[in-house]
Amino acid sequence: MANERHYSPVDRLLLQADAALRTLLPFSGQPNRPSPAIVQPEVELDELTTQHIAGLMRINHTGEVCAQALYQGQALTAKLPAVRTAMEHAADEEVDHLAWCEQRIRQLGSHPSVLNPLFYGLSFGVGAVAGLISDKVSLGFVAATEDQVVKHLDDHLQQIPAGDEKSRAILEQMREDEAQHATSALEAGGLRFPLPVKFGMSLVAKVMTQSTYRI
């Protein structure tokens, strides 16, 4: 297309740096959709329950930080323009989740994980390597990652008390979006990872969830 803009490698690195700052700095991501929690009533929660829900939302927030980094890393090294565009679009959609989780964490009187910069860097590197290997592997990694996210969300939804409709509404919408991302990645030609690879990914995800629940 005549009006398509082509970025130099330096331009793309600067864009990645900007994306990293918008992901990691507090309240820097502007969602395209309002939080599903807005229309839900606030309820009184005891201190222990509030801390537990905040820990769950902190895990999900860090998961969205990792998703941002993964997509940005893959977009940097994707070989086909269509795949690069798809990765960038998916990253834009994840901004909504990132902002919603942060808003809820703050409402619960807590804070995002201090480990987010570490997990961002690791996820960006994994995404970039996957993109370098092939677009098929890159898309397959997206599908496998989103499958893991859906499982975590299912588990968290079971732990959210019935009265906390704000947190539940956020997680339910996130689950719907993440499942669609996984399906889209496979339909675009993503590789279906074997079970041993998925098991290894689940172990890494477990380290993330256990470390960010409290910090």
Beta carbons within 8 Å of 164's beta carbon, 6+ residues apart: 43, 45, 49, 53
Q: Is 94 annotated as a binding residue?
A: yes
111 is in an annotated binding site: no
Task: Give the total residue count for the chain.
Answer: 215
Which two structure tokens, joined as six digits, stand for 119?
Answer: 């997990």
Backbone angles phi, psi at 42, to 5 degrees: -85, 140
Query: Would you say 97 is a known binding-site residue?
Result: yes
In 3-state terms the chain splits into helix, strand, coil percentages (rounded to 5) of 75, 0, 25
Q: Does 64 show up as a binding residue in the annotation? A: yes
- The total of other beta-carbon atoms located within 10 Å of residue 81's CB is 10
Which residues does the annotation place in the binding site?
64, 94, 97, 146, 178, 181
Which residues does the annotation place in the binding site for Fe cation?
64, 94, 97, 146, 178, 181
